[in-house]
Amino acid sequence: MKKLLLLIFILTLIIVGCAQEPASQPSEEEPAVEAEVEEEEEPAEESSFPERPIEFVASYAPGGGHDTLMRTMLKIIQDEGISDASINVVNKPGGSGAVGMAYVNGHAGDGHYLMAATSSLITTPLTSDVGLTFRDLTPIARLGIDPELLLVNAESDYETLDDLINAGKVLNIGGTSTGGIEHIAAIKLQIIAGVDINYIPYQGDGEVVAALMGNQIDMVFTNPNSAIDYIKSGDFRPIAITTEERVDLMPDIPTFKELGYDIVVNIYRGVMAPGGVSDEVVAYYTNMIEELVATEEWQKDYIERNLIVEGYLPGEEFGEYLEEVYLLYEETLTELGLIK
Amino acid sequence: MEALDNLSIGFVEVMTFYNIMIIFMGSIFGTIVGALPGLGPSAGIALLLPLTFGMPVTTALCLLVGSYMGTMYGGRITAILINTPGDAPAIMTCQDGYPMMTQGKGGLALGISAISSFVGGAFGLIILVFGAPIISKISINFGPPEYFMLMILGLSTITLLAGDKMLKAALMTFFGFAIGIVGSDYVSGYVRFNYHPELIEGIDFVAIIIGLYGIGEVLFNIEKLIHLDLGKPSFKIREFIPSLKELKQITMPTLRGSVIGTMIGILPGAGGTIATFLAYTSEKKASKTPKRFGNGAIEGLAAPEAANNASVPGALIPLITLGIPGSGGTAILLGALIMYGLRPGPLLMVESGTIVWTMIAGLILANVILLISNIMLIPIFINIIKLVQKYLSPIVASLCLLGAYSLNYGMFNIWVVMIFGVIGYGMKKFKYPAGPLILSVVLAPLTENYFRQSLMLAQGKFSIFLLRPISLGILIVILVIAVLSIVNNYRNKAKKRVMAN
């Protein structure tokens, strides 16, 4: 009987251990940690960063955009020997990015954290009081941009932007959530190009694409990554793209600008460090990322695979860019009555 | 028979010793993860994902889909043993599974549910292999009005679950709607009740389930000083392999559950959950002895379990044909596919057909492995519970809190679980049903969103619900069900009056 009880006890411990896996996850996944542990024992000098393993923080679960970015970066940094520091990817999902932001902000002044940043960096603090803004963090680099494509179903009669402008009725346009980048693009389409639109928010790119596939709506704004296969397969017809210049990956698609309408909106993918970190830390990450974005692997495994438009900006310029983006969102969300 | 040719190529790829071992481990891992309250398919796949980066793509996918299927088998275990469903689709398993456990027939409940899970999974897989392209073509014709009607159909099962406690069930439904309101609303762009950053994405319904069922049950048992008497540990095969008569009894419910699960599982959002509720209530409706339901009817156990597992291949159909994830688990799979360098979308089957077929072959293999291993594991699970029955309450409570922590790796959900534990205790004490509450927590946001999207699509005209044939068809089904139940009610009351006289 006692033996059996002991067995049960051990089994329970195993089950508990399984459930706790995420806590110990980083050390299990990345063998690099073990190799670097010895280094910690050496006397840490004041000027040598990093002093201990660096955490790459993804504010969404594995498989999400933040996670993909951080893990691809880590893989290339290790494969190409860009840095010999030990680095772990840590997922802090929840609160539309708020949990991850709060986690990194909680380590202000400590450079051993690098966080993936996308539109939620600005929109979540704008729409909810999460006790911090993007200004509390240190911008390190913008890695690329996701433009928006205006698409119609290939079966539709609309061939060009002019057809949409002269449709003579209110057109249903789909995109992701109200107040998001696609909504902003749609509002600009109405104001600048004069297309009469009725915006329908969907949850996620998949639903947007499905709605256009099923002819539920007249047109959509979505990012190239979700649409490219449907353009290739001939299901969707691209009308225009929201970049300054034509994009190498899709050279046949005209920009709104060349069609005579100044609609340039896009979302960014970048990385941020906690606030108040030393110049040395900023220089360390800047060098690391400059080397990273110059590799062929980065072009192939991240930029091309996710159909991102290149747009590297170093820290300070990324910060200025974020201020511009902040103003755009603040203005739009205030006009829509979503924030006061 | 092109599908069969492709599938056999997939099987050739999958049948290496390494791959079979990987699928086996993934399945077992999935079963354990699924059995733990709070950890469901999403968590199972997310935990394994980082481990797959060094593997060949096909092996990695086999591991992920094996564990995905495994979690569906695992979810039923805690539902039956300790009345704590691991995820929303397992709620209906508690309904008759746990009463069987308290009657000392827990082993049989696990055996029956393993078999119906297998049949459900196999049925879904057959549809996936032969019908994926056609089904995906049909599914894109479903827009917000059709989904709204399906949500209403799902919610209408509450009236059937409620029995004679209609008012209490209605009260719980509204309570569920109120909880479902919390969080960011992508249709309006507002974030509601965002007093705490963790509330931005709403209250996690898995935490609510763990609180209501797990902690609520524990508190109730402590107050009533209920001592489960499950008997001494034993290893008799007859206790968990159903007899021929029982197998016959569950054949039709299992098949009906499989059909419902595959068809409804394809729907994004809450497909699996709605499917289990519909499967359960339709069995109860079809049964000649509906009174047995809720007291350990094996049909009421088999149908939702079959539906639950049939929804897994169902949810994969939009993923591999259109690149659209239909559930939390497939959403993470989508991320995984992209990380492996595949492009989920209309061209996936054309460009990477072999990999997809290998994944499907792996899923078929996983389903077989899971049936065998789950039946073998029954005596272990049952005897663990029998051994620790004196200490069951603290063990269940700690498992629940652990599960709550693992939802987001933070304290917040532990508070949610404890608050809903107290609510669940009160509900059990005063006999308020928990099913309608959970169903409306899950469906409320979807119902609300689809309703508003429909009206936006129609630019304000309510006629959109009547002008679209599929939407109108579902509406008619709902009306027929409603009229039939009202007529039935009157008849029963009239009969009673006659009897009384």
Which tens digits make up the pLDDT trace of B259-317? 999 888 877 767 788 899 999 988 988 888 888 888 889 999 999 999 989 988 888 88
The pLDDT of A39-52, averaged and rounded, is 59
Asked if B453 contacts B144 with a C-beta cutoff of 8 angstroms, the reply is yes
Asked if B45 contacts B63 with a C-beta cutoff of 8 angstroms, the reply is no
Q: How far away is chain B from the Cα of A47, in angstroms, using its nearest Cα?
A: 33
Cβ neighbours of residue A157 closer than 8 Å, sequence gap 6 or more: A163
Give yes or no for A27 touching B (CB within 8 A). Answer: no
Select the residue of B144, B189, B333 nearest A178 (Cβ to Cβ). Answer: B189
Taking alpha carbons only, the member of A179, A185, A151, A175 closest to residue A265 is A185
Taking alpha carbons only, the member of B143, B132, B195, B142 closest to residue B346 is B132
Within 10 angstroms of residue A75's Cβ, the number of other Cβ atoms is 16
Q: Which H helix or E strand runs over B247?
A: helix B244-265
Give yes or no for A128 touching B (CB within 8 A). Answer: yes
Confidence bin at A38 (pLDDT 50/70/90)? very low
- Inform me whether the pLDDT recorded for B231 exceeds 80: no
How distant, in Å, are the alpha carbons of A206, A269, B267, B303 from that of B325?
7, 23, 10, 25
B353 versus A38: the higher-pLDDT residue is B353
ipTM of the complex: 0.85
Give yes or no for A198 touching B (CB within 8 A). Answer: yes
Distance CA B445, CA A19 (A): 29
The number of residues making up chain B comes to 501
The architecture that CATH gives domain A53-146+267-335 is 3-Layer(aba) Sandwich (3.40)
Cβ distance B334 to A63 less than 8 Å, yes or no, reads yes
Asked if the domains A53-146+267-335 and A149-264 are classified in one and the same CATH topology, the answer is yes
Within 10 angstroms of residue B431's Cβ, the number of other Cβ atoms is 8
Tell me which chain B residues have a C-beta less than 8 angstroms from the C-beta of A153: none
Interface test with A, best of B52, B57, B186 (most A CBs within 10 A): B186
The architecture that CATH gives domain A149-264 is 3-Layer(aba) Sandwich (3.40)
Which amino acid, A91?
A: N
Taking alpha carbons only, the member of B399, B364, B439 closest to residue B19 is B364
Cβ distance B33 to A18 less than 8 Å, yes or no, reads yes
> How, if at all, do strands A197-201 and A171-175 pair?
parallel
- Inform me whether the pLDDT recorded for B436 exceeds 80: yes
Give B259-272 as a DSSP string. HHHHHHHTSTTTHH
Tell me which chain B residues have a C-beta less than 8 angstroms from the C-beta of A183: 189
Give yes or no for A286 touching B (CB within 8 A). Answer: no
pLDDT above 90 coverage of chain A, percent: 56
Residue in A closest to B398 by C-alpha: A16
Partner B, chain A 220-239, Cβ-Cβ below 8 Å: 226, 228-230, 232-233, 235
Q: What is the mean pLDDT of chain B?
A: 87
A27 backbone φψ class: left, alpha, beta (φ>0; ψ -120 to 50): alpha
DSSP code for B196: S
Asked if B91 contacts B85 with a C-beta cutoff of 8 angstroms, the reply is yes
Give yes or no for A133 touching B (CB within 8 A). Answer: no
Distance CA A306, CA B199 (A): 30
Give yes or no for A211 touching B (CB within 8 A). Answer: yes
B422 backbone φψ class: left, alpha, beta (φ>0; ψ -120 to 50): alpha
Distance CA A223, CA A209 (A): 10
The pLDDT of B4-9, averaged and rounded, is 89
Cβ distance A19 to B403 less than 8 Å, yes or no, reads yes
- Inform me whether the pLDDT recorded for B21 exceeds 80: yes
Tell me which chain B residues have a C-beta less than 8 angstroms from the C-beta of A207: 268, 324
Asked if B160 contacts B287 with a C-beta cutoff of 8 angstroms, the reply is no
Please give the distance of CA B401 from its chain centroid, rounded to a whole number.
Answer: 21
Tell me which chain A residues have a C-beta less than 8 angstroms from the C-beta of B271: none
Judged by average pLDDT, the poorest of A253-257, B144-148, B403-407, B456-460 is: B403-407
Which tens digits make up the pLDDT trace of A184-197? 999 999 999 999 99
Tell me which chain A residues have a C-beta less than 8 angstroms from the C-beta of B332: 61-63
pLDDT at residue number A36:
42
Cβ distance B459 to A198 less than 8 Å, yes or no, reads yes
Helix axes B271-286, B91-102, angle to 10 degrees: 50
Q: Which residues pair with A268 in a beta bridge?
A: A145
Q: Helices (DSSP H) in chain A: which residue ranges?
A: 2-19, 21-29, 32-41, 65-79, 98-105, 120-127, 161-165, 181-193, 204-213, 224-232, 279-294, 296-298, 315-335
Select the residue of A22, A131, A203 nearest B186 (Cβ to Cβ). Answer: A203
Which tens digits make up the pLDDT trace of B104-141? 888 899 999 999 999 999 999 999 999 888 888 888 88
The number of residues making up chain A comes to 340
Cβ distance A198 to B402 less than 8 Å, yes or no, reads no
pLDDT above 70 coverage of chain B, percent: 97
Within 10 angstroms of residue B501's Cβ, the number of other Cβ atoms is 5
- Inform me whether the pLDDT recorded for B391 exceeds 90: no
Distance CA B422, CA B416 (A): 10
pLDDT above 90 coverage of chain B, percent: 38
Cβ distance A18 to B32 less than 8 Å, yes or no, reads yes
Interface test with A, best of B234, B352, B409, B412 (most A CBs within 10 A): B409
- Inform me whether the pLDDT recorded for A35 exceeds 50: no
Domains in chain A: boundaries: 53-146+267-335, 149-264
Interface test with B, best of A73, A128, A231 (most B CBs within 10 A): A128
Give A156-211 as a DSSP string. SS--SHHHHHT--SPEEEEESSTTSHHHHHHHHHHHHH---EEEEE-SHHHHHHHH
Which tens digits make up the pLDDT trace of B481-496? 888 878 877 887 888 7
Which tens digits make up the pLDDT trace of B29-67? 999 888 888 788 888 888 888 888 778 999 999 999 999
Q: How far away is chain A from the Cα of B383, in angstroms, using its nearest Cα?
A: 9
Cβ distance B332 to A62 less than 8 Å, yes or no, reads yes
Cis omega before residue A147 (within 30°)?
no
